[in-house]
Structure 1
Amino acid sequence: MAAPTNEEGPASEPGAAPYGNFPNYSRFHPPEGRLRLLPEGLLRQLFPSDARPLLGLDVGCNSGELSVALYRHLLGLQEGKGSPEQPADGKDLHLLCCDIDPVLIERAQQSSPFPNSISFANLDIMDSSSREPFLTSYLSRFGRSTFDISFCMSVTMWIHLNHGDRGLVEFLAFLSSQCRYLLIEPQPWKCYRAAARRLRKLGRNDFDHFRSLAINGDMAERITQILTRDCTMELVCCFGSTSWDRSLLLFKSNGSNHDGREPSEQQQ
C-alpha cells in the first residue's frame, strides 16, 4: 500500500481517504464510543503478574486521539489530574502508534501529552521490508521480541479493500504473531459498500479488490474465524458494539513464544 500523496485529492472529502486516513476521524467516531465498552483495570486483568513495562502497538492510529485516550483509560489516568507520566493503575505502558499518513503522524507527534510513553511513527504496516526492521528495532530497546497487546481499531477494511483477501489474511497473521493479546474492531460489510460508494460519487475508480472479495458478509465473524483457525489465537471476549455498530473483540495468542522476551532471555 503506497503512502498517500497530495494527488489523492482534498483530504476534507471523506471519499478522498482511500486508506482510512481521514483528517478529522475522531469527530465522527469519538474515542469515548470505544472506551465506554472497555472495563477499568483491563491491564491488571490481562497481566496480573507482569512487573516490567508493558508494550503496546496501535496500528492505524490516525492523528492519535484514540491512542492517547486508550493510554489514559488503560492506566486509569484522568485528563488534567496528576502527573501524566505516573500511571494510576499500577502498570507502566509504552505505546508505539503507527499510520500510513505522514501528515497525521506529524499532527499526533505535535499534540501528544505523553511523549515519553507514546511514540508515533509513519509506517506502512503492509510493507514487510520496512515494518519488520522497524518493529524489531523498537522491541529490542526493551529486550523484547513481541508486544504485550496490539490495537487494530477500524483498520481491517482498509487493508482488505487495498490488498484483497490475501492481504487481509496476511495482515492478521502478521499482527497476531506480534502480540500476546489483540484488541480489534472490524468494520462491518456495510462500511465496505459505503466506502466504495463515496469513491464513485467523487468520480474515482473503485477499490481494486472490492468486487472480487470472497471474504465478506459478517466481517467480525469472518475475522474471528481467520484469527482462531489460522493464527493460533482464541477469542477471549466481545466487549460489545459501538453506537456505529462495530464490535470490540479481544483475542489471546496460543503461540509458544509470546511472553515477549528475547529467546536468549527465555533460556536463562
Structure 2
Amino acid sequence: MEEKGGNQKKEEKSQDEVKQTKRKRKYVFPYGNYKSYYGYRIGRDLEEDPRLKVLKKEWFEGKDCLDIGCNSGILTIQIAKKFLCQSILGIDIDSDRIEDAYWHLRKFAKMENTGKMNGKASKLKISEDSNGQGNDIAMPSDGETKKDLFEIVSFRQENFVRSSRTPEESYDTILCLSVTKWIHLNWGDDGLITLFSRIWRLLKPGGILVLEPQPWKSYENNRLVSETATLNYKNIKFRPNTFQDLLLDKIGFRTVEDLTPGLSGSKTGFNRPILVFQK
C-alpha cells in the first residue's frame, strides 16, 4: 500500500512539473517586451544604466523627448531625473509593460518626495540650531520649484510602426534603444523604414535621434521567436551595418556621432553601438 501511494504521489508530482513547464513555455516575447528586461541587462552590481554615462545633458535639459520601446520605464524615468527634461513620453507595444512603467513612476516619485521632505526637515533643524527660531528659512520661489515627476514623465501603449494616431507632437530628442531588431523581425524592411521615417517627421529641426541597434547576431538568436519573425528574417535586406547610411542618405539626417567608445560597464551580450543622428 505504501509503495502504491508513493508511486501515485510521484505521478502527481510529475504531472505538476509538466504543467509548470508548459506554463513557462507560454511566456514568449515576440516584441522584446521582456518583463524583467532591466534586471538582466543592467545587473545588481551597477547603480545606473551604463548608457546614461554617454548621453549629453544638452540633448534633454528643458527638451521635449520621446522614448520608443520604453519597456518598464526605468531608463525613461532616470533620464528625466538626471537630465531635467521638460517632458518625456515613453511608449511601448505591451500594455503590461506600460502598467509596470507607471508603477515605477509612482515608486520614483514617492522616493523623490520623501527626499524633499527630509531635506526640508534638515534645513529647519539647521536654522533652529543657528538662531533658535525656524522663521528665517529661505524657501524657494515658484520659479525655483522643481516640477513633479508626474508633470514630466508619461507613458502610453502604442505600436509605433502601425499606429494610426495623427502626430500632434514634435520632439527635440527621440530615443530608440534596442528596438530596431524587434520591429525588423515583426514588420520587415518596410517596418524599419516606417520607423525611421516617422521618427524623422516627429523631430523638430535640429532634433536628435539616439539609436542603439542590435547586431545581426542578435537577429539570428531570435529568428525563431515566431513564424512571422522567421519569415521576415529570411527576407531582410537592410542589415544593422547599413542603418547609418540609410539614415543619412535616404531618410535625411545631416550628421552622426558614435558614442560607443565611451560606453563601458555593459553586461555580456549588450555591447551594442549607440549612434546619435541630428536632423
TM-score by length of 1: 0.69
Correspondences of 1:160-199 after superposition (within 5 Å): 160-179=184-203, 180-197=207-224, 199=225
Residue 256 of structure 1 corresponds to which residue in structure 2? none
1:247 and 2:273 correspond: yes
Verify: 1:97 aligned to 2:70, yes or no: no
> Greater helix percent: which structure?
2
Matched AA of 1:185: E
Relative to 1, partners in 2 of residues 1:191 and 1:14: Cα closer, same or farther, differing over 3 Å? farther
Whole-angstrom distance in 2 between the partners of 1:107 and 1:35: 21
Identify unmatched segments of 5+ residues in structure 2: 1-21, 43-47, 110-148
Structure 1 Cα separation of the partners of residues 25 and 154 of structure 2: 28
Length, aligned pairs only: 201
C-alpha contact (below 8 Å) 1:233/1:251 kept by paired residues = yes
Match of 2:59 in 1: 43
Query: Structure 2: how far apart are the matches of 1:13 and 1:73?
Result: 38
Q: Cα offset for 1:15?
A: 7.5
CA-to-aligned-CA distance 1:185-216 (integer Å, 9 cap, x gap): 0001011011125x3xxxx5361301111122
- Gaps of at least 5 residues in structure 1 are 1-8, 48-52, 76-91, 140-145, 254-268
- Structure 1 residues 213 and 15: CA distance shift in structure 2, 3 A: farther
**Superposed CA RMSD:** 2.3
Deviations 1:61-98, CA, capped at 9 Å, x for gaps: 001011112222323xxxxxxxxxxxxxxxx4200110
Q: C-alpha distance in 1, partners of 2:227/2:162?
A: 23
Q: Is 2:33 the counterpart of 1:33?
A: no
**How far apart in 2 are the matches of 1:21 and 1:71?**
22
Is the radius of gyration larger for structure 1 or structure 2?
2
The alpha-carbon deviation at position 233 of structure 1 amounts to 0.3
- The answer to whether structure 1 residue 231 and structure 2 residue 258 are counterparts is no
**Corresponding residue for residue 78 of structure 2:** 69
Q: Give the 3-state SS of the residue equivalent to 2:151 in structure 1.
A: coil
Query: Match for residue 107 of structure 1?
Result: 100
Secondary structure at the aligned position of 1:209 is classed as helix
- SS for the counterpart of 2:164 is helix
- Return the offset for 1:13: 6.3
User: What CA deviation, in whole Å up to 9, does each residue of 1:227-246 have, x standing for no partner?
Assistant: 10111103331111563221
Deviations 1:85-130 (A, max 9, x none): xxxxxxx420011000001101111220321110100111012313
Q: Matches of 1:111 and 1:27 in 2, distance apart? A: 13
Structure 2-normalised TM-score? 0.66
